[in-house]
Amino acid sequence: MPPSSSSSSSSNCCFLQPQLPDECWESIFKHLSDPHDHESLSLVSRRFLSLSNRIPTHLTISYHLLPLLPALLRRFTNLTSIRLTRYFTGDINALLSQIASFDLPSLHSLDISHQYTFPSHGLRQFSLKFPTLKSLNCSHTKLGLVLIAECFPNLEEINVTYPITRVFPDRDLHEKALASGLKKLRKVDLSGTYILQDSSLFTLCQNCVSLEALLISDIGASAIANAIRQGPQLRSLAVRGGIVTLELIDTLVTLKCLTCLDLCYARISDETLCVLADRGLPLRELSLRYCSGYQFSGISCLLRNCNNLQYLGLERTRFLNDQRVIELSLLLGNLNAVNLSENAKLTDLSLFAIMRNCPLITKIRMENTGVGKQKLEHDCLVLNSHLKFLYLARNKRLDDGSVTTLASFCPNLEMMDLSDCGRVSKGAIEVLRRCCKIQCMDLARLGYELDQFRVNFEVPTLFVLNLPMLSISDEELSLISKSCYNLKELKLNYCDKITASGVKQVVKNCKQLRMISLLGCENVSSDIVTWMVFARPSLRMLS
C-alpha cells in the first residue's frame, strides 16, 4: 500500500529537520560564519524561526532603525547589549524610555558613547527597568557620574573616557560618586577624564574590592602606586603617559594576578624593566607602544623572563632593527600576536623571523615599516601554517614579489591588509590565488601602476573586499563578482571607472551580498539604488 501524501510530507520534514533538541540546533546556529544567515534559517519553519530569534544578543540602533525598533525588541528577547550609533540624531531620552518598556531580562550592557548630550531623563527611566545593568559606556559625551552611581549601583564595567567638556564645577561630587558609589566595579576606563585627584584614585581602588582592570591617564606614578596597593587582585593595568618609576614597578610586582600591562606614551628606563623582569610577573600581554627612555638591553632582559607572553606591542621603538627583532623573536615561543608598526628600520627579515621563531603566531601588524626593502631567498624561509591575520598597510617599499612570497609561505591567511601599498598590484591577486582560506582583503588605494585587476579563478572563501580608489573597469568588476561569488561586503568608493553595468553584475552574481559602498563613484547613477534593493533582498547597507 503506497504511503499517503501526508506521511511523505512528514518524512521529508523530518529529513530536513532531524529531531535534535533545541539546545543542539542553537549551538549549530551560533557557529554559522555570518549571523545574517539566521534570516534564511528563520524561513525554514516556525521552529527554526523561534530558535533563530534566541540567537542575537547585540543590537546597534541607528536613527533609520527607529521605525522597526519595537518589532525587533519584541522578537529578540535574549539581547544582552544595546549600542547607539555615534552622534545619534534622534531623541536619546525618548529612545531609552522606549527600550525600558520592553521585556529584555538578559540585557546587561549599554553603550551611549560619542553623543552630544547626556540623556539624564532616559537613563533614569532605563534604570527603573534595568537596575542591575553591569556595563555602561558613555565615553566622549558629557560626564554624569553622580546620576550613574545613583541609577546603576551594580555596575561592574564603566567607560567614561574623554568627556566632551573638561570643566567640572561639581568635581567633588563626581569623584565621590565614582570612588564611593560604584563599589562593584571590576573594570574602569578613566583615560582622559581630567577629574580624578590622587585621593580619589586611592579611594576607588580601596572601595572597589573586585577591581580587576584599570585604565588611567594623567596621574602621577606615586599616586598610581599608592592606589593599586589597595587592589592586589588587579589583572590588567593600562597607564597612558607619565614616567614609570621604580616605586611603581615595586608596587606592580606585588600584584601576583597581573597578566596584562599597557604603558602607552610613558617614559621608562632599562633599570625599571630589569627590576620588573627579576620579580617574575606572570605577564601574558605587554604593550610599550610609543614609549621612550628604554633601550634594547631593557626589553630583552624583560622578555627573557616572560616566557609565556602571548601579545607584545612595540610600536614606534627607535632602537629596533632587524637583528634585534631576530634576537627577541627567539625569546617568544608562545607569542600569538605582535604589533611592530611604525618602526621604519624593520624589513622582511623581521617579518620572517617572527614567522619562523614564533610557531604559534596568528596575527602580525607591521604597518608603516620597511617591509619589502629586503628581498629574501626562498631557501631561507619557513612555511607558517598558523598565521591568519597580516596587516601591512602603508608599506611603501612592499611590491608584488614580496607579497607573492608571503602568500606562498602563509597559505592559511584569512585576512590581509595591503591598503596604501603603492607598489603592490598583481601580488594581491596572488594572495587570492594561493591562500585558500582568505576571507577578507583590504586593497584600498592599491598600486598606482595597477593596469588590470583580473581575478579569473574561484575564491569561494572571500567575504569582504575593500577596493576604494582603484582604477578598475566594469569588465574587471564583473570578473570579480563571478570569481568571488560569496562576497558579503564590497567597498568601491571613488572607483571612477565603474558604471551601473558593473554594479549590476555584482548584485546579480553575489547572492549573499549584505553591504556595498559606492560613495564617490561618479559614473554610477543613483537611479540604480531602487533596482539593487529589489534585485538582491540580502542587501542591508548601501552607501
Considering only residues 264 and 35, tell me which one the structure prediction assigns the higher pLDDT. 264
In sequence order, which residues have a C-beta less than 8 Å from that of residue 22 and are 6 or more positions away?
51
User: Residue 413: left (phi > 0), alpha (psi -120 to 50), or beta?
Assistant: beta
Angle in degrees, CA 507, 510, 512, rounded to 5: 110
What is the predicted pLDDT for the residue at 253? Answer: 87
The Cα-based distances of 520 to 450, 495, 499, 539 in angstroms read: 20, 7, 12, 20
Cβ-based neighbours of 82, under 8 Å, separated by 6 or more: 58, 59, 60, 61, 99, 107, 109, 110, 111
Predicted pLDDT at 207: 87
**Angle made by CA atoms 340, 341, 346, in degrees to the nearest 5:** 70
Give the DSSP letter of residue 378. G
Nearest residue to 381 (alpha-carbon basis) of 404, 352, 422, 418: 352
Low-confidence winner among 177-186, 255-264, 369-378 (lowest mean pLDDT)? 177-186
- The CA distance from 445 to 523, in Å, is 19
So what's the pLDDT on residue 32? 62
Beta-bridge mates of residue 139: none
Angle (CA) 6-11-13 rounded to 5° is: 95
For 131-166, give the DSSP string: TT--EEE-TTS---HHHHHHH-TT-SEEE--S-S--
- Rounded Cα distance between 362 and 437, Å, is 14
Write down the pLDDT at residue 189. 93
- 523: Cα within 13 Å, side-chain hemisphere: 15
Q: Left (φ > 0), alpha (ψ -120 to 50) or beta: where does 201 sit?
A: alpha
Question: What mean pLDDT comes out for the span 184-191?
Answer: 92
Write b or e for each residue in 123-157: b if 16 or more Cβ atoms lie within 10 A of its Cβ, otherwise e. Answer: bbbbbebbeebbbbbbbbbebbbbbbbebbeebbb
Amino acid at 53: N
236 burial type by CB count under 10 A (0-12 exposed, 13-18 middle, 19+ buried):
middle
Q: Determine the pLDDT at residue 25.
A: 65
The answer to whether 294 touches 288, Cβ cutoff 8 Å, is: yes
d(CA 460, CA 170): 58
Cβ-in-10-Å burial (0-12, 13-18, 19+) of 110 comes to buried
Contact predicate 295/322, CB 8 Å: no
Note the pLDDT of residue 197. Answer: 67
Q: Which domains are seen in the chain, by residue range? A: 16-55 (1.20.1280)
| Greatest C-alpha distance within the chain | 90
Share of the chain above pLDDT 70, in %: 87
Residue 79, H or E segment? none
Amino acid symbol at 536: R
Whether residue 417 is predicted with pLDDT greater than 50 in this model: the reply is yes
- What's the CA gap between 135 and 442, in Å, rounded? 33
CB distance 191 to 217 below 8 Å: yes
Q: CA-to-CA distance for 320 and 472, rounded, in angstroms?
A: 39
CA distance 400 to 259: 40
The fraction of the chain above a pLDDT of 90, given in percent, is 59
- Beta-sheet pairing, 440-442 with 415-417: parallel
Distance CA(500)–CA(197), nearest Å, equals: 59
The pLDDT, as a whole number, for residue 279 is 81
- Which three cell numbers mark 132? 542591575
> What pLDDT sits at residue 310?
97
Among residues 65, 139, 132, 129, the alpha carbon closest in space to that of 97 is found at: 129
Q: For residue range 148-177, what is the model confidence (pLDDT) as tens digits?
A: 999 999 999 999 888 887 555 566 777 777
Q: Taking the model in full, what pTM does it have?
A: 0.86
Task: Say how far apart CA 115 and CA 160 lie, in whole Å.
Answer: 12
- What's the pLDDT score for residue 14? 42
- Which are the contacts of 432, defined by CB distance < 8 A and separation ≥ 6? 438, 441, 455, 457, 459, 462, 484
pLDDT > 90? residue 499: yes
- Sequence letter at residue 427: G
Q: How far apart are CA 151 and CA 261, in angstroms?
A: 32
Nearest to 500 by CA among 520, 477, 528: 528
Average pLDDT over residues 171-196: 80
